[in-house]
């Protein structure tokens, strides 16, 4: 998977929450744009969720992303 997809999702406005799906089947939730950091050279990324865990990942560990639907306005 191309790590640039995650960089674009992180920078999207408005931000939409998403899951990063790993090849081992784990799903890592990204609830805020500052919960994910992508290295400038695209060699790796870090995901920190609301809990105490953080995940240092390499592109070859990534399988897919699952972007959640945008929140609906109550206007």
At 52 the pLDDT is 82
Question: Quick check: is 12 in a domain?
Answer: yes
Task: Note the pLDDT tens digit of each residue in 16-30.
Answer: 999 999 999 999 999
> Is the Cβ–Cβ distance between 36 and 6 less than 8 Å?
yes
Q: Is residue 10 part of a domain?
A: yes
Q: Is 31 exposed, middle or buried (0-12, 13-18, 19+ CB in 10 A)?
A: middle
- Checking if the pLDDT of 11 tops 80, the result is yes
**Is residue 75's pLDDT more than 70?**
no
CATH of the domain at 13: 2.30.30.100
Per-residue pLDDT tens over the stretch 53-68: 899 999 999 999 999 9
Residue 74 placed within a domain: no
Q: How many domains does the chain have?
A: 1
Domain that holds residue 38: 3-67
The answer to whether residue 20 sits within a structural domain is: yes
* Residue 72, in any domain of the structure: no
């Amino acid at each position: 998977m191309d790590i640039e997809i995650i960089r674009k999702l992180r920078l999207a406005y408005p931000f939409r929450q998403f899951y990063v799906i790993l090849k081992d089947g784990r799903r890592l939730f990204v609830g805020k744009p500052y919960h994910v950091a992508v290295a400038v050279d695209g060699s790796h990324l870090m995901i920190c969720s609301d809990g105490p865990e953080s995940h240092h990942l390499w592109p070859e560990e990534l399988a897919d992303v699952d972007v959640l639907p945008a929140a609906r306005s109550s206007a």
